[in-house]
């Protein structure tokens, strides 16, 4: 589902955030990306949804899209296959819960009837069917993140990228969000999650990729957050 070979990302200010990354992630996997602040986790996941362009690399493929060759006009097609969830939710403040989720389908030209059915389906999945008419500022952080997850999966992407999705949430709410991401993964979506949350990584076990200084320094099936405690 995701393949990187010798991928490099150097920012225009001269910082090399990703040095020489090679990794293969199969369909249906759940992968944590861990590592110290500034190690390149965010850059690594941004390369997967073409928020950043690779500077060099032999291969960078996500859901069959060749991201080394993709044209700007084709990026919307990539985004149908790759949903993204952020630490700060990035909901549209003047749109209701329903509208925030529906918008992701409207922009790709789905029909109103299909939109209504699917939006209610995903809001039900994230447990927010009763909040359809509410605006983001009337929601708790956990609820906002549920809406953002609903928006990310409404177009049934093959891959879900989550960049520190629990970074702004308390421990209990973080666990609930994790259960939701796990459920989505259980339905077949490949999940890649950059995180600092040791409790989560150590309790809900999945493959762990540890990044340090732009390189993968550990790749462990069902790993812990740190090698040594």
Which residues of the shown chain bind ligand ADP in the complex (CB under 6 A)? Answer: 11, 13, 15, 17, 35, 37-43
Alpha helices (runs of H) in the chain, residue ranges in sequence order? 41-48, 75-81, 97-106, 112-125, 141-153, 171-186, 198-203
Residue 87 or 100 with smaller CB distance to ligand ADP: 87
Least distance to ligand ADP, CB of residue 70, Å? 20
Least distance to ligand ADP, CB of residue 227, Å? 18
Least distance to ligand ADP, CB of residue 97, Å? 29
Q: Measured at CB, which residue is nearest to ligand ADP?
A: 42
Least distance to ligand ADP, CB of residue 194, Å? 6
Tokens at 193, concatenated = 């999650």
* CA diameter of the chain: 53
Q: 170: how many CB neighbours lie within 10 A of its CB?
A: 11
Least distance to ligand ADP, CB of residue 52, Å? 8
Residue 39 or 100 with smaller CB distance to ligand ADP: 39
Q: 28: how many CB neighbours lie within 10 A of its CB?
A: 14
Q: How far apart are the first and last CA of the chain?
A: 32
Residue 34 or 126 with smaller CB distance to ligand ADP: 34
Residue 82 or 139 with smaller CB distance to ligand ADP: 82
For 101, 118, 155, the CA distances from 146, given in Å and listed in that order, are 11, 15, 15
Residue 46 or 118 with smaller CB distance to ligand ADP: 46
């Amino acid at each position: 589902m995701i393949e990187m070979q010798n991928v490099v990302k150097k920012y225009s200010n001269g910082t090399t955030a990703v040095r020489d990354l090679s990794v293969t992630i199969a369909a249906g996997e759940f992968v944590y990306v861990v590592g110290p602040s500034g190690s390149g986790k965010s850059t690594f996941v941004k390369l997967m949804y073409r928020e950043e362009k690779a500077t060099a690399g032999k291969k960078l493929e996500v859901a069959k899209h060749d991201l080394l060759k993709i044209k700007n006009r084709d990026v919307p097609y990539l985004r149908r296959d790759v949903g993204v969830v952020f630490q700060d939710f990035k909901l549209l403040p003047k749109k209701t819960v329903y509208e925030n989720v529906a918008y992701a389908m409207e922009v790709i030209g789905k029909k109103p009837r299909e939109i209504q059915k699917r939006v209610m389906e995903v809001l039900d999945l994230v447990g927010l069917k009763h909040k359809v008419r509410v605006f983001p500022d009337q929601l708790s952080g956990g609820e906002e993140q549920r809406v953002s997850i609903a928006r990310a999966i409404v177009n049934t992407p093959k891959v879900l990228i989550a960049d520190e999705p629990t970074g702004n949430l308390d421990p209990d709410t973080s666990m609930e969000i994790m259960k939701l991401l796990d459920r989505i993964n259980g339905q077949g979506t490949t999940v890649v999650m950059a995180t600092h949350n040791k409790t989560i990584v150590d309790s809900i076990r999945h493959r762990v990729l540890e990044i340090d200084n732009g390189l993968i320094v550990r790749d462990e099936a069902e790993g812990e957050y740190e090698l040594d405690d």
